[in-house]
Structure 1
Amino acid sequence: MFSKRDLRRLLIPLIVEQFLAVLVGMVDVVMVAGVGEAAVSGVSLVDAINLLLIQLLGAMATGGAVVAGQYLGCKNEERACRAANQLLLVTTVISAAIMVIALVGNRVILSVIFGKIDADVMADASLYFYITSLSFPFLAMYNSCAALYRAMGNSKVSMKTSLVMNGINIAGNAIGVYVLRVGVAGVAVPTLISRMVAAVIMLVIIRNEKNQVHVDKHLRLGYEPDMIRQILRIGIPSGMESSMFQLGKIMVQSLVSSLGTVAIAGFAVATNLASIEYLPGQAIGLGLVTVASQCVGAKEFGQVKEYTKKLVLLDYSILIGIIVVIDLLHKPIIGIYNLSPEAAAIAAGLIVFHGFAMLFWPPAFIVPNALRAASDVTFTMVIAVASMWLFRICLAYLMVKVFHTGVIGIWIAMSVDWIFRFVVFLWRMISGKWIRHGSDERLKRKTV
């Protein structure tokens, strides 16, 4: 169903967009590092919470994209457009509610999650959290529209919008931190403005009726409970999985915060650099949702397996090159962050270890996207959540608190989590047990 040319048109913009997103994150950390380690720590802690909410909203958007993609696969464009309307409605309402909770609960949320942290770190974290919370509804709109374009096999639109968004963010960071010298606010406000601009751009162009999938031109989204339930049937388990995954990372971040500011800073920089290694796989996983959902809609289940295999191997081919480059250049790169010698040593050890662990990552996190695209969301959620709590969290606390391994013990636990997922999700795909979830009778060629 998808030629090599189709896959290139889908995947290359996605990879570029993912690299842009992480590049901006790295620039943020580098710029804030000029303010001090307390600022780096505060932004790092809040970003862990923000990422939880971003992944929740992203999972909801993916739920809508899967439904729309399945309808496109069975040539039912009218229902695909109705799914688009309901996706935009659901994500906007949910994100607005999350924003209100974050604004009202600000310091309470930070204190509950991270416990007692230094006063200067808390002050920076609180301000950054307050400002970035205002951007959640705009981010939800952008993510939803981008997911719908991906469902059509068109990822170039979101890439171009991302270029604009990230350009605004970087320029704003430079002005806020180096010209106005307003600390973390100089990073947070540009994030808010850039997401607002991106949301408006995507909302305008997704209304174009020439698109296979579009929302109502006048934004008369309506309310269709059956369609919303269909989206939530995929979005809620995926959202719970993503949220629990990020919640586990936050709990681990809380564990890191108990080791002191030096450990927090070293871990933050290592995490920032390691995120580059995830980029190809994250982009390929997003592309696989489009490919697999349309194959499922057309009942081409054999092609789902073939495309999954091809895309996992593609990620490995890119990933190995990235790991080699980062491992060779990690010391001069870490030097850019202006860390203390102790924090720099922690970051260096973590990044080298992470490169070896990443060899288990592609099947553990790309294959589940194919399963979700076939509506096999409950299995992926149960396995992911169980693995997270058993290995990523419990084992991490055991390594740090009992065996006193320091921050490296956290990534040892993470590696065990990846190995478990690697084995189970590969077995699920090969077994074919997921196919029964993709045989939904509501996916009909005629409009219903």
Structure 2
Amino acid sequence: MATLGKDALLAMIRDGKAMTLKQELRLTALLSIPAILAQLTSILMQYIDASMVGRLGADDSASIGLVSTTIWLFAGVCNAATTGFSVQVAHLIGAGRPAEARSVLRQSMITILIFGLAVGLAGCLISPFLPTWLKGNDHITGKASTYFLIFSLAIPFLTLDFLASGMLRSSGNIKVPSMLNVMMGVLDVIFNFFLIFPAHNLQVMGIDFTLPGANLGVTGAALGTFLAEMITCFAMVYYMCFKSKELRLNHEHGSFKPRGQCLRKAFKISLPMGLQHIVMCSAQITITAIVAPLGSIALAANTFAITAESLCYMPGYGIADAATTLVGQSIGAARRDLTRRFANITVVMGMTVMGLMGVLMWIGAPVMMSIMSPVPGIIEQGTAALRIEAWAEPMFAAAIVSYGIFVGAGDTLIPCAMNVVSMWGVRITLSALFVLHYHMGLTGVWTAMCIELIFRGSIYLWRLKSDRWIKIKHKA
């Protein structure tokens, strides 16, 4: 019997056909592997990006680190807004209603563009004041403000990229958005090379060359990211609208005017996610405010350690993307049995992969931090932080993948509330206690993070074990 490909296996979900365990595992792998490789490649690009900024010194690194949590807040809210539409598309495609899926896509494009412009404007307005609110010192506030302003100008492009990427994944196409996001990372590094540093003098085979360089420092890093995001946005939207087999819009006419029913469904899914991102990233910003008074070395070490750790948890997000697609289409096809099996398969896969990555992170922490920065203090504090965090990776995977499963099922309210309780009730409380009372410094912050991630993973597995998140009514 010939081995079935991804499209044929996804068709089995929509057509109600029975699947063997081997076919379920194969489909999970076919959707997960491109996303995992893309995440890993993207992180490698971020490593190079961070190491470029790290060569500028502790203050420049700290200026980006100061606003990084606020950047996560804005990006997370934009991503949440797009998810309300992409989950609808996954359910409709799973139910065998592609024309209605394309109708949702049209409505989402106008809505999300307006939303992205509004969020970008808000970011521009607060950019002069944000670094001071976060208790940054006078050496870094000016550069931090400029960096956040340029990021805010890129938000409309970033939001459309989130939308197109989510739509393609919901249709079962993991490969193209993964490849384009890898391209964005590569472009970011290339642009940074020419924008951050001064001109480079090289000699090849006895011939002298001078590569141009703008020598813009932190501003150059922001501009490089802006250009990479803009180009990737255009490529992603073009492929979605003109090349995607399930979603392309150039072969039929339809209205782009948002309608009430579609917006209400999107709002119901996205609102809890958006509120969660606001509350959780506010917690991250609070932690940044706790770390900032510890000095530029601690702030830079915290920022670089977060980037280094992402090498471990980004595979989990790749598997979570696959889980959202598999569960979303299984829900749309009214396949309760398949929904449960794909949930179990993806969680076990995520915990296994991230557990192994945690072992590698514990061993390689000093090397990972030395890639980020040559400053001994940053390397020392960052290494200690990573070795604490390594113990939490399997349970962190449980939380990441379970959340992807719940999003695919359209079950966002309770998981978002669980995240908020875990972050504010455990991480923030313990961070403040360890740093302000026990004077544990950056080690205290990361110890609190480790404890909180283990707690969060545990409560997610508890909810996953129940069937309350599986909300199947009927296929039509």
Cα distance between partner residues in 2 of 1:233 and 1:32? 40
The amino acid across from 2:28 in the alignment is L
Cα distance between partner residues in 2 of 1:306 and 1:181? 53
Residue matched to 2:259: 224
Q: Retained in 2: the 8 A contact 1:371–1:377? A: yes
Residue matched to 1:426: 461
Cα distance between partner residues in 2 of 1:424 and 1:256? 28
Residue matched to 1:141: 160
Secondary structure at the residue paired with 2:127?
A: helix
Gap change, CA 1:294 and 1:338, over 3 Å in 2: closer
Residue matched to 1:196: 230
Cα distance between partner residues in 1 of 2:185 and 2:344? 32
Task: Report the CA distance between 1:335 and its aligned residue.
Answer: 2.0
TM-score, normalising length from structure 1?
Answer: 0.93
Deviates more, 1:400-409 or 1:321-330: 321-330
Q: What are the Cα deviations for residues 386-438 of structure 1, in whole angstroms up to 9, with x where unaligned?
A: 11111121221122111211112212222232233222222222121223xx2
Matches within 5 A, 1:14-413: 14-112=35-133, 114-115=134-135, 117-178=136-197, 179-208=213-242, 211-215=245-249, 221-413=256-448
Gap change, CA 1:336 and 1:202, over 3 Å in 2: closer
Deviates more, 1:211-220 or 1:397-406: 211-220
The amino acid across from 1:81 in the alignment is R
Q: What are the Cα deviations for residues 37-80 of structure 1, in whole angstroms up to 9, with x where unaligned?
A: 11101111222211111122222222222111111111111221
Cα distance between partner residues in 1 of 2:389 and 2:74? 25
Deviates more, 1:381-390 or 1:419-428: 419-428
Task: Report the CA distance between 1:196 and its aligned residue.
Answer: 0.9
Cα distance between partner residues in 2 of 1:86 and 1:46? 33
Cα distance between partner residues in 2 of 1:138 and 1:414? 32
Cα distance between partner residues in 2 of 1:172 and 1:350? 30
Secondary structure at the residue paired with 2:129?
A: helix
Cα distance between partner residues in 1 of 2:454 and 2:371? 32
Deviates more, 1:368-377 or 1:70-79: 368-377
Cα distance between partner residues in 2 of 1:67 and 1:378? 16
Task: Report the CA distance between 1:220 and its aligned residue.
Answer: 5.2
Secondary structure at the residue paired with 2:242?
A: coil
Gap change, CA 1:215 and 1:384, over 3 Å in 2: farther
Secondary structure at the residue paired with 2:372?
A: coil
Q: What are the Cα deviations for residues 184-227 of structure 1, in whole angstroms up to 9, with x where unaligned?
A: 11111111111111111112121127621245678952121110
Gap change, CA 1:332 and 1:84, over 3 Å in 2: same
Task: Report the CA distance between 1:102 and its aligned residue.
Answer: 1.0
Q: Retained in 1: the 8 A contact 2:157–2:230? A: yes
Secondary structure at the residue paired with 1:150?
A: helix
Cα distance between partner residues in 1 of 2:181 and 2:76? 17
Q: What are the Cα deviations for residues 95-131 of structure 1, in whole angstroms up to 9, with x where unaligned?
A: 111111111221223322x12x221211111111111
Q: Retained in 1: the 8 A contact 2:365–2:383? A: yes
Give the length in aligned residue pairs: 439
Cα distance between partner residues in 2 of 1:375 and 1:155? 19
Q: Retained in 2: the 8 A contact 1:244–1:385? A: yes
Q: What are the Cα deviations for residues 287-321 of structure 1, in whole angstroms up to 9, with x where unaligned?
A: 11111011111121222221121112212332233
Q: Retained in 1: the 8 A contact 2:389–2:449? A: no
Q: Retained in 2: the 8 A contact 1:87–1:231? A: no
Cα distance between partner residues in 1 of 2:473 and 2:103? 17
Cα distance between partner residues in 1 of 2:254 and 2:218? 36
Greater CA radius of gyration, 1 or 2? 2
Q: Retained in 1: the 8 A contact 2:47–2:371? A: no
Q: Retained in 2: the 8 A contact 1:65–1:290? A: no
The amino acid across from 1:143 in the alignment is F
Task: Report the CA distance between 1:440 and its aligned residue.
Answer: 4.6
Cα distance between partner residues in 2 of 1:85 and 1:110? 38
Task: Report the CA distance between 1:89 and its aligned residue.
Answer: 2.3
Task: Report the CA distance between 1:341 and its aligned residue.
Answer: 2.4
Q: Retained in 2: the 8 A contact 1:38–1:124? A: no
Cα distance between partner residues in 2 of 1:228 and 1:83? 9
Cα distance between partner residues in 1 of 2:41 and 2:222? 17
Task: Report the CA distance between 1:268 and its aligned residue.
Answer: 1.5
The amino acid across from 1:31 in the alignment is M
Gap change, CA 1:39 and 1:315, over 3 Å in 2: same
Deviates more, 1:142-151 or 1:316-325: 316-325
Q: Retained in 2: the 8 A contact 1:82–1:215? A: no
The amino acid across from 1:211 in the alignment is K
Cα distance between partner residues in 2 of 1:326 and 1:375? 34
TM-score, normalising length from structure 2?
Answer: 0.88
Q: Retained in 1: the 8 A contact 2:69–2:285? A: yes
Task: Report the CA distance between 1:285 and its aligned residue.
Answer: 0.8
Task: Report the CA distance between 1:85 and its aligned residue.
Answer: 1.7
Cα distance between partner residues in 1 of 2:419 and 2:333? 28
Task: Report the CA distance between 1:338 and its aligned residue.
Answer: 3.3
Which consecutive unaligned segments of at least 5 residues does structure 1 have? none
The alignment-based identity, stated in percent, is 23
Deviates more, 1:6-15 or 1:49-58: 6-15
